[in-house]
A and B are shown apart, each in its own frame.
Chain A
Amino acid sequence: MSKYKVDENGYYGNYGGAYIPELLYPNVEELKEAYLRIMNSPDFIQEFRHLLSDYVGRPSPLYFAKRLSEHYKTKIYLKREDLNHTGAHKINNTIGQILLAKRLGKTRIIAETGAGQHGVATATVCALMGLECIVYMGEVDIQRQAPNVARMKLLGATVVPATCGSKTLKDATNEAIRDWINHPENTYYIIGSVVGPHPYPDMVARFQSIISEEMKQQLKEKENNEYPDYVIACVGGGSNAAGAFYHYLDHPEVKLIAAEAAGKGIHSGHSAATSALGKPGIIHGSKTLLMQTEDGQIVEPYSISAGLDYPGVGPVHAHLFETGRAEFISITDDEAVKSAFELCQLEGIIPALESAHALACLSKLNFKPDEVVVINLSGRGDKDLSTYMNFLK
């Protein structure tokens, strides 16, 4: 049994669990009882794999970034999740969960979204399956990720603004959970990251684990070695990182690097660097590291990147941080934008702001020339053009 995978009680070491009001108990229990059975059934696996290949366009390429490698004097590969249908890794998870929701007989789908990528990916699979879709999104994020709001609407989803708190991902998640409480029977909640009550973190990690499954195979072909020296991914809730790390967790020779959003600086009061600033606490049904006041009130986070603007991390990441299995690096807004521009100019790829945080780790680590570094390029930057344009001026 891996010490980095979820245990039978839904915990990763000290973190995880299902701290939910009784109102949600039947829903979460139903899911907990069913998810592994459904996910492991042959018809599910077949349908999931088929959609991943023919609809999402998997496997996503593992691209050797030659000019970026020359610049950093090491061997850098980009795992191109940005090339998936809808433009990010999020669709791996929504395909999985919509197939599950259908098998549970649910007819109404809800989701939260930050950057809008999970919202778009959910709206997409709902259109594909002909199911009603309601997406909660913070008012601030509706402003800064406008193209994704338009996409969701075009796909037939209803986008409901979250107007409380910092009006970002945390608040959208609160509203989605409240919706679920109010519609416990017909509604399935597609959570977009490895957060929430057990079994969500484990389920989402399993759906995203396709990323490292492919990486292993692709590295074997390209490097004749499945195991790179580094895997680098950004962490908001941590789903793309969980997927990119998944098959390497028990291989300590593979260094796992998690890029967190430091916003305007870790101690600026405008940050989302949970591992640096958080203490154990409970958010959205799970025990994890959480940015909070001494009095246990959740702190409003900040990041230029809507997808990383979250005061917690998935419990698996709290565990990876605590055990030292993963190294957490804080990246400021400016560092992320600089790295995004660098990738545009060296490789002709416009990354999402979230993924740019992972890229920014390149200048914070010392690599040897023959080391193999894989960066999970979680999404493309189309949604962030207006933010990037502000920096071009």
Chain B
Amino acid sequence: MNRINKLFETKQGNILSVYFTAGFPQLNDTANILKSLQESGADLVEVGIPFSDPLADGPVIQHSSEVALKNGMTMKLLFEQLKDFRKEINIPVLLMGYLNPVLQYGIEKFVQQCAASGIDGLILPDLPFKEYQEQYAPLFDQHNIRNIFLITPQTSEERVRLIDKAGNGFIYMVSSASTTGVKGQMNDQQTDYFMRIKNYKLNNPTLIGFGISNYDTFQTACQYSKGAIIGSAFINTIENSKDLKKDIHSFIQQLTTEK
């Protein structure tokens, strides 16, 4: 069974997913960060493939991508770094990235390579839903790789249901109309939207992402969905870390325990 599906079968709520950009802060941190995240209790990890022009990202992830590319991160190197990670890591791991580097690598080869490395799913924000359905769904299914779709406050109910029907794994609920980044507290408009989606009683579990940064926002997200995804706040934490293991541990601690 795909590890993503298994996770949602065994854990009903408070699922914590963490995003980080591969090759940041140091080129070869990928394996260590993965390991520390698992040890600290993260349930799921999204490893970002850095891209020169990350359109849907705010300043923090833009910066991490730029640093990672300057450090020399490439797709080839990422797959080398991920060659043996399944010896130690058993939580689900997804790759998240923009479509162009994937197309250049060759999407078939890419999906095959993901499966061979033990990757469970992909998030490709600029691969349109329709394009995926028409061209790539059989390829992903063949390799047991989940493609995770996004929905936003502007996504119509009809489209949410269409995405739910086609989806498998989970649905990535973007918390507000915005690029990625730390935003502070949640507002009523956001919780109304979370409630609306919750009331749809979708087949797939949802995780809320974009703007989740601390205990409060994480808890709020968990009230309306199975859990949440943290990116920019985590990147800020590891940026100048002298002890990744320790800092990752305390970051996850303070996210999940009340002050």
Which residues from B are CB-within-8-Å of A27? 154
User: Chain B residues near A324 (CB, 8 Å)?
Assistant: none
Complex alpha-carbon distance, A21 and B102, angstroms: 15
Q: Does residue B202 face the partner (Cβ distance < 8 Å to A)? A: no
Residues of B within 8 A of A (CB): 51-53, 55-56, 58, 62, 66, 69, 74-76, 98-105, 125-129, 131, 149-152, 154-156, 159, 174, 177-179
If the complex has contacts A19-B99, A23-B174, A184-B154, are A174 and B56 also in contact, measured as CB distance less than 8 A? no
Could you say which residues of chain A place their CB within 8 Å of the CB of B155? 22, 25-26
A311 shortest CB reach to chain B, Å: 9
Residue pair A18, B104 in contact (C-beta under 8 Å): no
Q: B28 to chain A: closest CB distance in Å?
A: 17
- Is B127 in contact with A19, judged by CB distance below 8 angstroms? yes
**Nearest CB of chain B from residue A8's CB, rounded to whole Å:** 13
CA distance in complex: A279, B104 (Å): 9
- Name the contact of A282 in the complex, choosing from B126, B129, B149 (C-beta under 8 A): B126
A290 at the interface (CB under 8 A from B): yes
20 A-B pairs with CB atoms under 8 Å apart are: A17-B128, A19-B128, A21-B125, A21-B150, A22-B149, A22-B150, A23-B178, A25-B128, A25-B155, A165-B52, A174-B53, A174-B55, A181-B55, A181-B56, A182-B178, A183-B177, A184-B154, A185-B177, A281-B104, A296-B105
Query: Is A292 an interface position by the 8 A CB rule?
Result: yes
Of the residues A17, A164, A178, A292, contact of B100 by C-beta under 8 Å? A292
Inter-chain contacts of A170 with B (CB < 8 A): 53
- Taking A23-B177, A26-B154, A164-B62 as known contacts, 14 extra A-B pairs with beta carbons closer than 8 A to each other, sorted by chain A number, are A18-B128, A19-B126, A22-B152, A25-B159, A26-B155, A170-B53, A181-B179, A280-B103, A282-B103, A294-B104, A295-B76, A295-B101, A296-B100, A298-B53
Chain B proximity of A30: nearest CB distance (Å) = 10
Do A281 and B152 touch (CB < 8 A)?
no
A→B interface (CB under 8 Å): 17-23, 25-27, 164-165, 170, 174, 177-178, 181-185, 279-285, 290, 292, 294-298
Report Cα–Cα, A20/B76, bound state, in Å. Answer: 25
Q: State the Cβ distance, A79 to closest chain B Cβ, in Å.
A: 34
Q: Does B52 lie within 8 Å of A185, measured CB to CB?
A: no
Q: Decide: A297 and B177 in contact? CB cutoff 8 A.
A: no
Across the A-B interface, the 8 shortest Cβ-Cβ residue pairs: A296-B104, A296-B101, A22-B150, A21-B125, A297-B52, A26-B154, A21-B56, A282-B100
Residues of B within 8 A of A26 (CB): 154-156
B126 and A285: CB pair below 8 A?
yes
CB-CB under 8 A from A178, the residues of chain B are 55-56, 58, 179
What separation, in Å, do the CA atoms of A181 and B105 have in the docked complex? Answer: 28
Cβ distance A119 to chain B, nearest Cβ, rounded Å:
20
In whole angstroms, how far apart are the Cα atoms of A183 and B177 in the complex? 7
B192 to A: closest C-beta gap in Å:
15
- Nearest CB on B from A58, distance (A): 35
Bound complex: CA of A362 vs CA of B74, how far in Å?
Answer: 43
Among B76, B105, B129, B152, contact of A23 (Cβ-Cβ < 8 Å): B152
Q: Which residues on the A side are within 8 Å of B152 (C-beta)?
A: 22-23, 184
